[in-house]
Amino acid sequence: MTSRMSEQLAYMIATANKRLEDELHERLRPAGIPIEQLRILEIVHAGDGCSMRELATLALIEPTTLTKIIDRMVSDNLVMRAPDPEDRRRVLIRITQQGRVLFRRLDRITTSQEDRLQKQFPVEKIAELRRLLTELIES
């Protein structure tokens, strides 16, 4: 029996996301790193510091939860807080050398998941899905 909910786009997208995140969670388990920390590492690895507000938006994490996660990551020497050279009242989150090493190791996990997905579907379908999701996100 098929419910109306199972055909709703939002439900289908959430289900696909949950499956992918569950798979990623299992693959990250041996490293003891939650998906949220991996997202944070990826964001700060790509730039030269990120404000907490920007990081919360990009990592899809509520600001109060992000503060607790960053506190833990600072304690684990994965990221550090640094004053913004352009605005001393603002704090930037930067990746440490230890965080870079961990990110490079974990990046293989996300890359292998992405490779698997790309092999599962024809290139044109992946491109179309990316285009459609981008349109949905930006609308």
pLDDT digits (tens, 9 = 90+) for 38-62: 999 999 999 889 999 999 999 999 9
pLDDT of residue 93: 97
The token pair that represents 99 in the structure block: 């965080």
Answer whether residue 1 shows pLDDT above 60.
no
Q: Where are the domains of the chain?
A: 5-138
Average pLDDT, the chain: 92
Question: What percent of the chain is predicted at pLDDT more than 90?
Answer: 81
Pairing of strands 87-95, 50-51: antiparallel
pLDDT of residue 89: 85
pLDDT of residue 52: 94
Q: CB–CB of 104/33 below 8 Å?
A: no
Instruction: Classify domain 5-138 by CATH number.
Output: 1.10.10.10
pLDDT of residue 2: 63
Cα–Cα distance for residue pair 91/83, rounded to 1 Å? 5
Question: What percent of the chain is predicted at pLDDT more than 70?
Answer: 99
Long-range contacts of 75-78 (CB under 8 A, 24+ apart): 78/37, 78/41, 78/102
pLDDT of residue 6: 78
